[in-house]
Amino acid sequence: MKIQHLCDKDIQEYIFDTSNCSSDIIEHINSCEVCKKVSESYLLLSGELKSQPEPVLDFNLTKLVLDRLTLPKKEPIYNYLLSFIIIMSIGITFFTIYIFRDVFSNIFSANITILNYFIVSITILISLFLGFDMYRSYYKKINMLKY
């Protein structure tokens, strides 16, 4: 059994970490009024800390978070309009090709010149650039949406 009074660390260990507390410390506190008093004051402090009031929020956290999570939904009418425009564009393209089919067949079958190859190459090149640019701006926007 320890003859001197316990240090503060030992007393805290007895109160808050009893399973790791040595039997010497337990014996001392049980027999020493001074150390017992100190340990009781720690118990009092612990009780007071436990009963400290929780912070009260002056804003609705759930609403704020959910508002930021919900992405704006497109209006159904907008979706229909977009689909309509895409279908119409495809229809007009095929209709134009059908109407001018003779002209197109002449261009690509009868008189294949260097000029034709040049026009087709330029068209493919511009399409590639536009496609790449669209792909890049799409990912840029997606990354901006991520927080």
Q: Enumerate binding residues for other proteins (CB under 8 A).
A: 5-9, 12, 16-17, 34-35, 37-38, 41-42, 44-46, 48-55, 57, 59, 61-62, 64-66, 68-70, 146-147
Alpha-carbon distance of 64 to 59, in angstroms, equals: 8
Q: In the bound complex, what is the minimum distance in angstroms from residue 14's beta carbon to other proteins?
A: 12
Nearest to 8 by CA among 44, 34, 47: 34
CA–CA gap between residue 61 and residue 67 (Å, rounded): 10
Nearer to other proteins, 54 or 102 (CB): 54
Q: Which long-range contacts (CB under 8 A, 24 or more apart) does 46-49 make?
A: 46/15, 46/16
Classify residue 103 as left (phi > 0), alpha (psi -120 to 50) or beta: alpha
Q: Which is nearer to other proteins, 57 or 114 (CB)?
A: 57
Q: Whose Cβ is closer to other proteins: residue 63's or residue 141's?
A: 63
Taking the least distance from each CB to other proteins, the nearer of 98 and 147 is 147
